[in-house]
Amino acid sequence: MAIIYEYKKLRGRIVEVYGSQVAFAAALNISKQALSRKLTCKTGLSQKDIAKWSELLGINRDEYGVFYFA
């Protein structure tokens, strides 16, 4: 059984920094559907995703647990 994470805090940071998930998807150069699949745990977040997202969202490594593994 796959682990399902809740990304409420991550979604909040996305809106705080980019104004919307659509704008964040554009910054990542991915479709809004691809972003949605990642945020609803239909596809996984890779370590590369986490590093890139954190850079764009100003999330420090010591905050990863709060944003990505809650």
Indicate which CATH number applies to the domain containing 61.
1.10.260
Task: Specify if 2 maps to a domain.
Answer: no
> Domain containing 47: what range?
8-68
Entry pTM: 0.92
Which contacts (CB < 8 Å, 24+ apart) does range 11-18 have? 11/39, 13/57, 13/58, 13/59, 13/67, 14/57, 17/56, 17/57, 17/58
pLDDT one digit per residue (tens) for the chain, 70 residues = 667 888 999 999 999 999 999 999 999 999 999 999 999 999 999 999 999 999 999 999 999 999 998 8
In a domain, 33, yes or no: yes
Helices (H), ranges, the chain: 8-18, 21-28, 32-39, 47-57, 64-68
Number of domains, the chain: 1
In a domain, 55, yes or no: yes
Q: What is the pLDDT of residue 2?
A: 67
pLDDT value of position 70:
81
